[in-house]
């Protein structure tokens, strides 16, 4: 009886170790592309934050990756375009803030979008989202400006602690 128990425990431990290895084997991918924090973090412009922190995944012009709708083998989506060609403008300021602050995992879905709340100040998160919105200028869907549509959405869900379009 004793030895059976020991075998079961040992088996359990090796399964756990295998899982841990599987997890740490996939983790470095994210680490490699994780943004470095500039020494003057805290008061950079949205464009500076975008270039140093977001462009590595979302592209220097926010164009995203080509096959951004195709999930990988883990069911995760690649970085989408943020330049108005995707559906980023379907999200209110509050939702966009939470995506950047908490990351996809923080919001409870399997995702490779990192959390930036430990790296970016509230002002920088707002600034980078406002910068992203400048990429939407003049873009229309079905005859309406996506900027107007997103602004309306944000009235009911502004940036935390701020006003829409701040």
Positions that interact with ligand HEC (CB under 6 A):
30, 33, 35, 49, 53-54, 56-58, 76-80, 82, 86-88, 91, 96, 99-100, 104, 111-114, 116, 128
Q: Choose among 122, 159, 136, 107: nearest CA to 46.
A: 122
- Residue 112, judged by CB atoms within 10 A of its CB (0-12, 13-18, 19+), counts as middle
CA 34/CA 116 separation, integer angstroms: 10
Nearest distance, CB of residue 20 and ligand HEC, angstroms:
22
CA 57/CA 46 separation, integer angstroms: 16
Nearer to ligand HEC, 34 or 145 (CB): 34
The residues, any chain, with a CB within 8 Å of residue 95's CB and separated by 6 or more, are: 157
Nearest distance, CB of residue 140 and ligand HEC, angstroms:
18
Nearer to ligand HEC, 13 or 33 (CB): 33
Nearest distance, CB of residue 61 and ligand HEC, angstroms:
14
Nearer to ligand HEC, 14 or 148 (CB): 148
Nearer to ligand HEC, 112 or 121 (CB): 112
If one counts every other C-beta atom within 10 angstroms of the C-beta of residue 125, the result is: 23
């Amino acid at each position: 009886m004793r030895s059976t128990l020991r075998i079961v425990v040992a088996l359990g431990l090796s399964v756990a170790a295998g899982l841990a290895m599987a997890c740490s084997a996939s983790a470095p991918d994210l680490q490699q592309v994780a943004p470095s924090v500039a020494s003057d973090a805290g008061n950079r412009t949205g464009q500076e934050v975008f270039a140093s922190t977001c462009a590595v995944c979302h592209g220097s012009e926010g164009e995203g990756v080509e096959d951004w709708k195709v999930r990988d083998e883990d069911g995760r989506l690649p970085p989408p375009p943020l330049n108005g060609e995707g559906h980023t403008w379907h999200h209110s300021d509050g939702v966009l803030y939470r995506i950047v602050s908490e990351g996809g995992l923080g919001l409870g879905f399997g995702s490779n979008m990192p959390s930036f709340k430990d790296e970016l100040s509230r002002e920088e998160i707002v600034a980078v989202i406002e910068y992203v919105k400048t990429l939407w200028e003049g873009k229309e869907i079905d005859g309406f400006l996506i900027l107007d549509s997103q602004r309306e959405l944000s009235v009911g869900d502004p940036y935390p602690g701020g006003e829409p379009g701040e």
